[in-house]
């Protein structure tokens, strides 16, 4: 039985014990390693893995918050949110997709093309993902769906909100919203973290520039999902934060009237408060229906809009560029007076044309105006008089004055689509065209032709700054609750409340921190007086459109900007504008301020290819001016109310 020597056992036991000790030490090391790894995963990086686990666990469906509202000056909603009715389906809940789609086709309006598109969409998505069958059902369709709901297993009628515009009058000023595009995602950084499918975002106008603030912050529905992505249960909801509401300086009823006044023509109107720069009306004609874009514009409608001769999608008030025509004569005269180039007593004889260096420059009146002074020249818009003034003045001085009054630069910060226009001078021509300026161009510029390009908004600003006797204002279209009363407005209010207190000009400027645009304020008064004559005295260019009532009486300057020069033949034949083809007719301008006694508002009216300012633009301005002044009292009280409320 005892087959082994004890020495054998002892030596074996010794070896085994020694080697086991080594192995046990090794075990301790490995155990410490595992322990350390466990601690590092669970304690050090616990929160990182916790969030990874939550990322695994939760899926979030972002929900779009209600978009901020855009109101007019009186708090009327111009761009609001409306209830809309939608139909969603979840394929997993549907026993037979084909039967359901067939039934739906009979209940709501789905085109075969859309049906194919939907089928493709459904097959691409997971069974538990929602597909939107229709994002804007009519009430009739919606109630029919609800009526037959028991037969439509898996279909979900949903009530949601979407942008709604009450009318088209502010389509250009406000802009429109439409479904987010891949390009938007690339260009607009604030959209990158939004991640809401099919959300409507601002594309043009204020909808675009205020988009970030009006979007609000997105809400979400949070679901727990399993490893295959199937929803297990809803964990949390967050409705999101409503976007910011904005009040504008626009008056919706003036907007409507302006739109109505431009109904049959292509053009634009701008009305501005001459003391605080509020834009009361800004319309462009023809306009479009911004509601068509909210749920995706149809191909036919888009084609119709883009191929229209009158460019309905263009906001002509800020993006339309036109030579200012004779409206610039106010600045030509002012510049000459301010620079002491001519006196107001300068007399020129107009025989219908002047010759300069072998070139003939025509007056619009073929027979000529005879001997005219500055007041008469402005009143009758004599071209020859201003050729002479411009010749003496030179383009660089005229250009400086024009820029000072707001031409050649963007006026508002709210529109990416706004154009700066052109105020030419010798350096500009050298830089942009690469040629030297020649004197003939100065003559053309003096009457607002040639290289000059302006927008209706710029001309209304120019007129406003003449009307307020030469003080700089900053136009605005958004009314912020914390906006301070403008300096000029303060001065004006002060003048109103203390009529006996007469201040010297220096004191006025110093006390109210005003920014004068003049050297001698009398020069501006001369121009204003000449504009009064042009509208209210017999022989004035806009005499036929005057308003006799002192309350509404306005003073204005007509203008027409040439598209194509008249040939000698046409001039001889005294061809009327109506006789030439539409696209070659002159653009008609009219700028004015009102009321004459105590000016408050400035207006500019542009009628594309309208012929002459006096016949096409001035009558439109007359209608709008009347409306604006009628609403003056309402406007003053609305502002106080707004300030009290906020």
Binding site for other proteins (CB under 8 A): 1-4, 6, 8-9, 11-13, 15-16, 19-20, 23-24, 27, 30-31, 33-35, 37-39, 41-43, 45-50, 52-54, 56-57, 224-228, 232
- Report in angstroms how near the CB of residue 35 gets to other proteins at its nearest: 7
The number of C-alpha atoms within 13 Å of 620 and in the hemisphere containing its C-beta is 35
By beta-carbon proximity to other proteins, the closer residue of 3 and 189 is 3
Decide whether 21 or 510 has the Cβ nearer to other proteins.
Answer: 21
Can you tell me the distance from the alpha carbon of 262 to that of 459, in angstroms, rounded to the nearest whole number?
Answer: 18
Contacts of 510 (CB under 8 A, 6+ apart): none
Least separation in angstroms between CB 306 and other proteins: 45
If the CB atoms of residues 53 and 192 are measured against other proteins, the closer one turns out to be: 53
One DSSP character per residue, 123-164 reads HHS-TTS-EEEEEEE-HHHHHHHHHTGGGSTTEEEEEEEEEE
Between the CA of residue 479 and those of 139, 212, 252, 256, 364, what are the distances in Å? Answer: 36, 17, 14, 20, 43
- C-alpha distance from residue 462 to each of 222, 404, 409 (Å): 55, 9, 12
232 or 439: whose CB is closer to other proteins? 232
Task: Assess contact for 102 and 138: CB atoms under 8 A.
Answer: no
Structure tokens at 160: 């949601």
Give the nearest distance from C-beta 225 to other proteins in angstroms. Answer: 7
Q: Which residue has the tokens 């039985």?
A: 1
Nearer to other proteins by Cβ, of 49 and 510: the residue is 49
Query: Cα 404–409–413 angle (5° rounding)?
Result: 115
Least distance CB 102 / other proteins (angstroms): 36
Residue 503 burial (10 A CB sphere; 0-12, 13-18, 19+): middle
Measured from the CB of residue 25, what is the shortest distance to other proteins in angstroms? 12
**Is the Cβ of residue 32 or residue 583 nearer to other proteins in the bound state?**
32
CB 621 within 8 A of CB 556: yes
How far apart are CB 116 and other proteins at their closest, in Å? 32
* Least distance from other proteins to the Cβ atom of residue 73, Å: 55
Least separation in angstroms between residue 28's CB and other proteins is 9
Closest CA to 121 of 113, 134, 131: 131
Nearer to other proteins, 41 or 485 (CB): 41
Between 41 and 505, name the residue whose CB sits nearer to other proteins: 41
């Amino acid at each position: 039985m005892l087959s082994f020597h004890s020495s054998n056992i002892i030596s074996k036991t010794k070896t085994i014990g020694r080697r086991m000790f080594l192995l046990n030490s090794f075990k301790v090391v490995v155990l410490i390693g595992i322990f350390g790894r466990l601690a590092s995963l669970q304690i050090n990086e616990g929160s990182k893995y916790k969030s990874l686990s939550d990322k695994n666990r939760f899926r979030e469906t972002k929900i779009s918050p209600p978009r901020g509202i855009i109101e007019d000056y009186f708090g009327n909603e111009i761009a609001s949110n409306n209830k809309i009715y939608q139909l969603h389906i979840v394929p997993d809940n549907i026993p037979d997709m084909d039967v359901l789609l067939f039934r739906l086709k009979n209940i709501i309006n789905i085109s075969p093309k859309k049906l194919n598109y939907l089928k493709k969409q459904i097959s691409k998505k997971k069974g538990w993902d929602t597909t939107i069958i229709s994002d804007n059902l009519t009430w009739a369709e919606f109630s029919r769906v609800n009526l037959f709901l028991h037969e439509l297993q898996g279909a979900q009628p949903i009530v949601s909100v979407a942008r709604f515009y009450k009318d088209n009058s502010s389509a250009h000023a406000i802009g429109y919203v439409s479904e987010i595009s891949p390009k938007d995602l690339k260009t607009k950084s604030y959209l990158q973290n939004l991640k809401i499918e099919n959300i409507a975002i601002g594309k043009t106008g204020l909808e675009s520039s205020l988009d970030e603030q009006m979007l609000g912050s997105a809400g979400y529905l949070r679901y727990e999902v399993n490893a295959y992505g199937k929803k297990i249960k809803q964990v949390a909801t967050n409705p999101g934060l409503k976007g910011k509401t904005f009040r504008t300086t626009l008056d919706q009823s003036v907007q409507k009237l302006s739109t109505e006044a431009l109904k049959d023509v292509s053009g634009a109107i701008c009305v501005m408060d001459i003391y605080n720069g509020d834009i009361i009306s800004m319309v462009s004609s023809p306009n479009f229906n911004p509601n068509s874009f909210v749920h995706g514009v149809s191909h036919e409608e888009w084609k119709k809009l883009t191929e229209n001769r009158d460019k309905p999608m263009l906001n002509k008030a800020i993006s339309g560029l036109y030579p200012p025509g004779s409206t610039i004569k106010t600045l030509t005269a002012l510049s000459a007076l301010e620079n002491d180039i001519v006196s107001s007593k300068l007399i020129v004889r107009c025989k219908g044309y002047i010759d300069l260096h072998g070139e003939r420059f025509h007056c619009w009146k073929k027979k000529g105006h005879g001997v005219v002074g500055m007041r008469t020249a402005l009143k009758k818009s004599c071209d020859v008089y201003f050729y002479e003034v411009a010749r003496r003045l030179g383009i660089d001085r005229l250009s400086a004055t024009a820029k000072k009054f707001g031409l050649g630069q963007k006026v508002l910060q709210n529109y990416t689509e706004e154009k700066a226009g052109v105020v030419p001078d010798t350096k500009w021509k050298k830089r942009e065209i690469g040629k030297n300026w020649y004197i003939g161009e100065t003559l053309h510029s003096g009457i607002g032709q040639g290289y000059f390009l302006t927008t209706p908004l710029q001309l209304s600003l120019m007129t406003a700054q003449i009307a307020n006797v030469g003080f700089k204002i900053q136009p605005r279209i958004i009314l912020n609750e914390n906006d301070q009363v403008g300096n000029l407005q303060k001065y004006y209010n002060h003048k109103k409340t203390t009529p006996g207190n007469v201040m010297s000009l220096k004191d006025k400027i110093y006390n109210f921190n005003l920014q004068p645009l003049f050297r001698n304020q009398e020069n501006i008064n001369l121009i204003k007086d000449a504009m009064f004559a042009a509208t209210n005295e017999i022989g004035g260019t806009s005499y036929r459109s005057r308003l006799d009532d002192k309350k509404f009486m306005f003073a204005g300057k007509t203008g027409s900007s040439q598209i194509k020069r008249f040939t000698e033949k046409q001039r001889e034949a005294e061809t009327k504008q109506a006789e030439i083809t539409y696209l070659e007719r002159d653009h008609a301008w009219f700028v004015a301020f009102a009321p004459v006694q105590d000016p408050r508002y400035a207006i500019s009216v542009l009628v594309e290819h309208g012929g002459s300012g006096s016949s096409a633009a001035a009558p439109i301005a007359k209608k709008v001016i009347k409306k604006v002044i009628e609403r003056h009292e309402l406007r003053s009280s609305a502002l106080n109310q707004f300030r009290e409320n906020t």
